[in-house]
Amino acid sequence: MRLPEALEAVLTSALGIQIKSVQAVGGGDINQAAQITTNADQLFLKWHARSPDGMFTAEARGLELLRQAGTLRVPEVVAYQEHSEEAPAYMVLEWLERGRPEAGTYDELGRGLAQLHQVEASAHGLDHDNFIGRLPQYNQQETSWTHFYAEHRIRPQMEIARRSGKLTSAREKLIERLLDKLPNLLPADNPPASLLHGDLWSGNVMTLAGGQPAIIDPAVYYGHREVEIAFTELFGGFRPQFYEAYNAIHRLDKGYEERRSLYQLYPLMVHMNLFGGGYTGSVDSILRRYAGS
């Protein structure tokens, strides 16, 4: 594999390295990715020629917040740059060597996530906006979780769906009805604003040598921790040991099972807007459940 010539030149200059070899690796649905071997080390590189402005900057800030919490392994950011006339946007991370899950891998992941959720802020949101996938994620800080979830999670996805033609009149009516009902569906007592990975599914968890879990590709903000747990139960979920270890440290509140699908609505709307397909049926099913037919 060869890197774009302009990207290789920028990396060589910015990092003061010599790139000896490049090996393509899986980089998700958005970016191109590679393992680069330099004269000094191995590194992980991902790049995108037409990424949204600020995407890698926001990701770097999110990774640093998670690293500062110190509860789970997070790759160190070596360098990043938004796209320019000279080169595509890129991010360089330390190379993490993959291993295989061992007996304690999911216990360690559950404990680490529970400890991460014990890192709290005075408001829901974040001091900057970021991205979930390639879609914008708006993080205006709010003291009310219900208001935050309605106005900065569900409504923006509704507007994205409107612009892309995915918002049928029936779907719009259900979303508006749901937003009106949210104060009666979410906890009456404002929940703590916990530090969240924000995009935690199995594809964003790596198992390293020795079975240690690591988390990657975040969409960080502070919010109700149940949103994160509900997200982990989508797209295959995690092993039972993960949830047992989590609850041993930071037990979920009564009523989570009733709120779970409501909290899964946000990532499913994101996937509907990114990929369409069967996600529209899942979104509509949740809307009908909570807002009526």
In the chain, the domains with their CATH numbers are 5-94 (3.30.200.20), 105-291 (3.90.1200.10)
Record the tokens describing residue 36, joined without a space: 């680069």
- What are the catalytic residues? 199
Look at residue 293 in the predicted model and tell me its pLDDT. Answer: 60
Record the tokens describing residue 269, joined without a space: 């709307």
Residues of the chain with pLDDT under 50: none
The upper half-sphere exposure of residue 105, i.e. CA atoms within 13 Å in the direction of its Cβ, equals 20
What is the pTM (predicted TM-score) of this model? Answer: 0.95
Q: By the 8 A CB rule, do 90 and 84 touch?
A: no
Look at residue 29 in the predicted model and tell me its pLDDT. Answer: 66
Q: d(Cα 184, Cα 291) in Å, to the nearest integer?
A: 11
